[in-house]
Amino acid sequence: MESPVEIRVPDIGDFADVPVIEVLVGPGSVVRVEDPLVTLETDKATMEVPSPVEGTIVSVSVTVGDTVSQGTVIAVAESAAADSAADSAAVKAAPVEASVEPAPAPAVVAEAVEVTEPATAGSDDGGLRATPLVRRLARELDVDLTTVTGSGPKGRVTKQDLLTHYDRGVAPATPGSAAGAGIPALPEVDFAKFGPVRRVPLSRIKRISGPHLHRSWLNVPHVTHADEADITDLDAYRRELDEAARADGYRVTLLSFLLKAAAATLRQYPEVNSSLVGEELVLKDYVHIGVAVDTPDGLVVPVVRDVDRKGILELSRELADLSARARDGRLTATDLQGATFTISSLGGIGGTHFTPIVNAPEVAILGVVRSKTAPVWNGETFVPRLMLPLCLSYDHRVVDGALAARFTAHLAHLAGDVRRLVL
| Whether residue 212 lies in the annotated active site | no
Which class for 280: exposed (0-12), middle (13-18), buried (19 or more C-beta within 10 A)?
exposed
Residues in the chain: 423
Task: Determine how β-strand 18-23 pairs with β-strand 46-50.
Answer: unpaired
Find residue 283's DSSP bridge partners.
274
CA-to-CA distance for 317 and 136, rounded, in angstroms? 39
Q: What is the separation, in whole angstroms, between the first and last Cα of the chain?
A: 63
CA-to-CA distance for 144 and 177, rounded, in angstroms? 13
Check: CB of residue 349 under 8 Å from CB of residue 278: no
Reduced to 3 DSSP states, what percent helix, strand and coil does the chain have, rounded to the nearest 5? Answer: 30, 25, 45
Half-sphere exposure of 202 (CA within 13 A, CB side): 16
CA-to-CA distance for 25 and 417, rounded, in angstroms? 57
CA-to-CA distance for 118 and 139, rounded, in angstroms? 10
* Cα→Cα distances 77→6, 27, 194, 207, 399, Å: 7, 9, 55, 33, 54
Q: Under 8 Å CB-to-CB from 402, ≥6 apart: which residues?
A: none
Check: CB of residue 351 under 8 Å from CB of residue 370: yes
* Cα→Cα distances 192→79, 134, 195, 198, 298, Å: 55, 30, 5, 9, 27
Half-sphere exposure of 60 (CA within 13 A, CB side): 25
Q: Which of 212, 396, 410, 413 is catalytic?
A: 396
CA-to-CA distance for 87 and 75, rounded, in angstroms? 16
Check: CB of residue 384 under 8 Å from CB of residue 375: yes
Mapping DSSP to helix (H, G, I), strand (E, B) and coil, where does residue 8 land? Answer: strand
Catalytic residues: 396
